Structure 1
Amino acid sequence: MRRGRALTTQTQSEPQQGKPQSRRHGKITIGNALSYAMGDVYGGGGPTLAGTYLAVFWTHFCGFDISTAQGIIGGAAVVSAVCAILFGLLSERFYLYRLGRRFGRRRFFIMLCSPLVLVTLLMWVPGLPQPLYFALYVLYIVLLQMFGVCYAALPGEMTTDFAGRSMLSTVRLLLSGISTAVIPMFASWVLSHLGETNAYSYQLFATVVTVVFACVTFASSRLTWELTPEEAGFGEAELARRRAAAHRRTPREMLAAAGRVVSEYASTFRIATFRIHITLYLICLTLQDMFTQTFVFFVLYDWNRTAAFASLLLSLAIIAEVFKPLWGWLFIHIGPRNLYAVCYTGALTGLALLFLAWRTAGVLSGAAWTALAVAAFLVWCVFRSLSGTLPWLIFPFIPDVDMIVTKRNRASIFSGITTFLRFICTGVASIACGAFLATTGFEPNHAGGQSTGAQMGIAFVCLGWSAIGFLVAFVISRRFALDQRGDLMLLHEIDRLRSGGSKEDVEPEVRKTVEKLTGVPYERCWR
């Protein structure tokens, strides 16, 4: 591990005077990685549970039409997206408060998700007023944002070692992917045995899964560590100064502080690597959300199969987890840009096969069509999983690119703006999806099936939007330049400058790499 960074952990007994103890980690072990990664069972499974089944539950058992259900989901995402910004800022400064110094500025919020997520089980109770469903879903999304902003910042604080960070991210994504496959598998089993026309079938698997979320978030918050207050710049003198300054602020100074917050988040877009990264991330993750929200409808009304069959297919995503070690190996050996090309080519192939299965439904024999549908979904889910894995393999290295410009590690700032933009895009897309399906004549409770126009509309949202998006992402990804060699150059240059080295002595190759990755002239870096 690189020098100069002490790490903290929460031991089973409370540290003296409420302060976390400090320790150094020469190496991240698989046990450390599992302790961290279990939290993303919630981070990955939360969107899967609500995105796959909530709209179906509301339209079938709560009297919602499709535009209202998608409108609530999209509107809640947009309204609550602001919370990602606030949590990013609060998490950065939480050591100013006693709770932060006692439980950690990141891990406190992860732990807080544990009891609050249980409240959202009321979303799965029929007969409540629509505003209450909206409020509960806002809480659900806010908790996911609070978790994501703080959780994503931990690898950069637990270690600066490239292999250690890669292990944390890989194991995290492995468990996250397993949760996204196991949830539909469990749902398929429940729906098959209890019947998908009963509300309590959905309520049962939603309750079990949500209780698991509460358990893993609490456990992960207690088994990980982060920077001490002193290492994060919150020594006793600094704490006293900031608290005194906060008490003396006038309204004008508070407004100026708010302006600095906006400027802080806006400054992330100065970094060229982050601009490309966030564009690819938003395209892929938004399209994945749209696919998840409409796939069950696609299976019900375009393929004329059951919700249990749709859940069974979704559970096959667990096979994609077998490929996670391969993606980690390729990430190091062929670089992110080439892996993006593999990812998008494979995803487009899977979408083409799903389209073929739609057009041959009723033409091929039952066994042949089922084989085609399963094969098509397997290809899609493997590369869809990769499209969600790649951004999070890359994310821990984005703050390194920013650090050589700003001289600070702003991991939670990048995490906050990423989560904010993701939920804004997902919310707008969900509203647009519901409105579009409504215009095609889609009626989820129509006894006679859907019209041809509605079937075409579902297929276009589920498959067409994704195909267009992945084509655009393929073109943009050819400009991505960050790789392991470039990151090591950045870290060595940061160490050289931090030790008092002169900027005039920079090597030409290092200068070129820094400017290419940051998009900022070298003279304006490390100011």
Structure 2
Amino acid sequence: MRFQSRGFHSHDSRRKSHDKITFGDALGFAIGDVYGGGSAILTGTYLSVFWTRFCGFDIGTAQSMIGAAAMLSACSAIIFGVLSERFYLFRLGRRFGRRRFFVMMVSPLVLVTLLMWIPGMPKVLYFFVYVLYVTLQQMFGVCYSSLPGEMTRDFAGRSLLSTVRMFVSGMSGVIIPFAATAILTWLGEWHAYSYQTFVTIVTVAFAIVTFTSSRLTWELTPEEAGFGEAELARRRAAKHRRGAREIMQAIGHVAAEYASTFRIATFRVHITLYLICLTLMDIFTQSFVYFVVFDLGKTAAFASMLLSFAVIAEFFKPLWGWLFVHIGPRNLYAVDYTGALIGLGLLFVSWRLEPVLPEGVWTAYVIVSAIIWFVFRSLAGTVPWLVFPFIPDVDMIVTRRNRASIFSGITTFLRFIFSGLASMGVGAFLAFSGFKPDQSGAQSSSAVNAVAFVCLGWLAIGFIIAFIVSRRFTLDQRSDLIVLHEIERLKDGGNKDDVEPHVRETVERLTGQPYERCWGGV
């Protein structure tokens, strides 16, 4: 068969996609998220600090460049979402896979981004290298996040893939600050080569794990994805006949495809919670080192030491997975946001107690406060990804198609748009307050308060809003099974008029569409 070329085995892919997922399979998939989870931690925590200390940036310029780069590259998520859907039209896609090819390409390209850690270059070069960095994040995120839905349709298998992935991703977010603590303490945090040493080690690790994951995962065969010989010939012929009008129509179709995701009520609530929580995580990551250095009066190495205690949160991941199944996402969101608010409150108290408590007592208190915060911060990042594999099920009862990469594409696009806006907002707010991160001395009281308000206050407001929104989220294991059974009934030729009342109510509640409009490609 033409599709059975070296590097892509359609027979093995078809067999595995219906087998039980083993822990080894899940680990082979999850190892790639060392990059997915660690890449944002690396730049979010240390890049602004490096640029302001060693490259001549002020805080407003550094954060504005980071934000603008994220927003500029956000459109690439849309492009990769569509491209990866159709990549079997190309020889590279049929040889390496339409998802795994892009995961593999991260490996060599991420090494180029080490250039943004070299002092003395033009600012425009830093900007464009960072654009490449965040574009690679989006290319990886869109294609990698689509793999669980293709590797298996089994509920337990998908949950195992997501749970192990979240654990590995979270561990990368712990190991990077731990490495930073060791190296900055050893070499000194006011030397550029200290940062360059650990950044180089981490980036090389990113290159290794992304290549490894691309070889240990699988996806739908070309035939299973609808790319048989006849379909390939038809699409190629249509592509060669396209003129300017047809191209514009195709672009309009793509835009409509992405816009249609917001017709699904469950996705609207999910994306709102996802964007709130992940944007808050970005704000915390970008401001925490400044909070520790200028509000708590400690060092960047001490901040990295506190961040390394996030490893404790990883041991809660099995509990989160169990609670996700047994109490449902909505209740788990409530636990998450309540705990996050408590953790932020404890960190605020640690700031006010620092001048009055003995050093040893205060250090123990701030460590405990940080651990509580990290546990629920981890949960805030875990729940949306536990939910995500089931969103396409709700969409499928409406459109009759599995559009996982379309949802992944629009999610990643909006994620980086909001991340960019948050970076620019942080930089503008701190610059307006008179904050000067390139000096090691005392800041003005307004600057100190501004850092605390960004790091803790903005997050507290965001989690209160998220708590309110989360009460509208009703997707859980029971309702997902109802949707899947109804899909199977309709696939088998069942009549829509014969739908049971409780099934109709569930479908309409999750989709936000009248049942009569479902299963019709809305």
Please report the TM-score for the alignment, with normalisation by the length of structure 1. 0.97
- For residues 249-303 of structure 1, the C-alpha deviation after alignment (integer angstroms, 9 at most, x for no partner) is 1211111111111000000000000000000000000010010001000000000
Alignment match, 1:342: 335
Alignment match, 2:120: 127
Taking the TM superposition and a 5 Å limit, the aligned residue runs for 1:101-250 are 101-250=94-243
Once residues 187 and 14 of structure 1 are traced to their aligned partners in structure 2, the CA distance between those partners, rounded to angstroms, is 37
SS state at 1:501 partner: coil
Once residues 20 and 146 of structure 1 are traced to their aligned partners in structure 2, the CA distance between those partners, rounded to angstroms, is 25
From the superposition, tell whether residues 15 and 220 of structure 1 become closer, same or farther in structure 2 (CA, over 3 Å). Answer: closer
The answer to whether the Cα contact below 8 Å between 2:66 and 2:423 also exists between their aligned partners in 1 is yes
Letter in 1 for 2:21: I
TM-superposed CA distance for 1:392, in Å, is 0.2
The answer to whether the Cα contact below 8 Å between 1:188 and 1:311 also exists between their aligned partners in 2 is yes
SS state at 2:14 partner: strand
Once residues 472 and 373 of structure 2 are traced to their aligned partners in structure 1, the CA distance between those partners, rounded to angstroms, is 24
Alignment match, 1:428: 421
SS state at 1:126 partner: coil
The answer to whether the Cα contact below 8 Å between 1:20 and 1:104 also exists between their aligned partners in 2 is no
- Equivalences, count: 517
TM-superposed CA distance for 1:23, in Å, is 1.6
The answer to whether the Cα contact below 8 Å between 1:74 and 1:429 also exists between their aligned partners in 2 is yes
Q: 2:503 aligns with which of 507, 510, 517?
A: 510
Once residues 445 and 202 of structure 1 are traced to their aligned partners in structure 2, the CA distance between those partners, rounded to angstroms, is 15
Alignment match, 1:401: 394
SS state at 2:310 partner: helix
Alignment match, 2:14: 22
Once residues 122 and 169 of structure 2 are traced to their aligned partners in structure 1, the CA distance between those partners, rounded to angstroms, is 33
Once residues 117 and 212 of structure 2 are traced to their aligned partners in structure 1, the CA distance between those partners, rounded to angstroms, is 25
Alignment match, 2:324: 331
Q: 2:295 aligns with which of 276, 297, 302?
A: 302
The answer to whether the Cα contact below 8 Å between 1:76 and 1:134 also exists between their aligned partners in 2 is yes
Letter in 2 for 1:209: V
The answer to whether the Cα contact below 8 Å between 2:295 and 2:448 also exists between their aligned partners in 1 is yes
TM-superposed CA distance for 1:101, in Å, is 0.7
Alignment match, 1:74: 67
Structure 1, gaps ≥5 residues long = 1-8
Alignment match, 2:271: 278
SS state at 2:74 partner: helix
SS state at 2:57 partner: coil
Whether 2:519 is the aligned partner of 1:526: answer yes
- For residues 103-140 of structure 1, the C-alpha deviation after alignment (integer angstroms, 9 at most, x for no partner) is 00000000000000000011111101000000010000
Q: 2:477 aligns with which of 472, 477, 484?
A: 484
TM-superposed CA distance for 1:14, in Å, is 3.7
Whether 2:322 is the aligned partner of 1:322: answer no
Letter in 1 for 2:200: T
The answer to whether the Cα contact below 8 Å between 2:29 and 2:161 also exists between their aligned partners in 1 is yes
TM-superposed CA distance for 1:363, in Å, is 1.1
From the superposition, tell whether residues 19 and 203 of structure 1 become closer, same or farther in structure 2 (CA, over 3 Å). Answer: farther
Alignment match, 1:6: none
Please report the TM-score for the alignment, with normalisation by the length of structure 2. 0.97
Letter in 2 for 1:26: D
Letter in 2 for 1:22: R
Alignment match, 2:54: 61
The answer to whether the Cα contact below 8 Å between 1:300 and 1:306 also exists between their aligned partners in 2 is yes
The answer to whether the Cα contact below 8 Å between 1:191 and 1:202 also exists between their aligned partners in 2 is yes
The answer to whether the Cα contact below 8 Å between 1:68 and 1:434 also exists between their aligned partners in 2 is yes
TM-superposed CA distance for 1:432, in Å, is 1.1
The answer to whether the Cα contact below 8 Å between 1:62 and 1:126 also exists between their aligned partners in 2 is yes
TM-superposed CA distance for 1:190, in Å, is 0.3
Whether 2:460 is the aligned partner of 1:467: answer yes
- For residues 371-398 of structure 1, the C-alpha deviation after alignment (integer angstroms, 9 at most, x for no partner) is 1111110010000000000000000000
TM-superposed CA distance for 1:323, in Å, is 0.1
From the superposition, tell whether residues 21 and 459 of structure 1 become closer, same or farther in structure 2 (CA, over 3 Å). Answer: closer
The answer to whether the Cα contact below 8 Å between 1:178 and 1:321 also exists between their aligned partners in 2 is yes
Taking the TM superposition and a 5 Å limit, the aligned residue runs for 1:424-463 are 424-463=417-456
SS state at 2:315 partner: helix
Alignment match, 2:412: 419
- For residues 164-184 of structure 1, the C-alpha deviation after alignment (integer angstroms, 9 at most, x for no partner) is 000000000000000000100
The answer to whether the Cα contact below 8 Å between 2:8 and 2:97 also exists between their aligned partners in 1 is no
Q: 1:47 aligns with which of 40, 43, 62?
A: 40
Once residues 319 and 14 of structure 2 are traced to their aligned partners in structure 1, the CA distance between those partners, rounded to angstroms, is 35
Letter in 2 for 1:68: T
Alignment match, 1:499: 492
The answer to whether the Cα contact below 8 Å between 1:313 and 1:377 also exists between their aligned partners in 2 is yes
Letter in 2 for 1:96: L
Of the structure 1 ranges 220-229 and 439-448, higher mean CA displacement relative to structure 2 is found in 439-448
Letter in 2 for 1:349: I
Letter in 1 for 2:437: P
Whether 2:250 is the aligned partner of 1:263: answer no
TM-superposed CA distance for 1:21, in Å, is 5.2
Once residues 168 and 430 of structure 1 are traced to their aligned partners in structure 2, the CA distance between those partners, rounded to angstroms, is 31
The answer to whether the Cα contact below 8 Å between 2:284 and 2:459 also exists between their aligned partners in 1 is yes
Q: 2:85 aligns with which of 61, 82, 92?
A: 92
From the superposition, tell whether residues 21 and 27 of structure 1 become closer, same or farther in structure 2 (CA, over 3 Å). Answer: closer
SS state at 1:22 partner: helix
The answer to whether the Cα contact below 8 Å between 2:507 and 2:515 also exists between their aligned partners in 1 is yes
TM-superposed CA distance for 1:447, in Å, is 4.3
Alignment match, 2:370: 377
TM-superposed CA distance for 1:448, in Å, is 2.9
SS state at 1:449 partner: coil
SS state at 1:446 partner: coil
The answer to whether the Cα contact below 8 Å between 2:8 and 2:96 also exists between their aligned partners in 1 is no
- For residues 162-207 of structure 1, the C-alpha deviation after alignment (integer angstroms, 9 at most, x for no partner) is 1000000000000000000010001000001111011111001000
Letter in 1 for 2:280: L
SS state at 1:23 partner: helix
Letter in 1 for 2:86: R
Once residues 376 and 228 of structure 1 are traced to their aligned partners in structure 2, the CA distance between those partners, rounded to angstroms, is 49
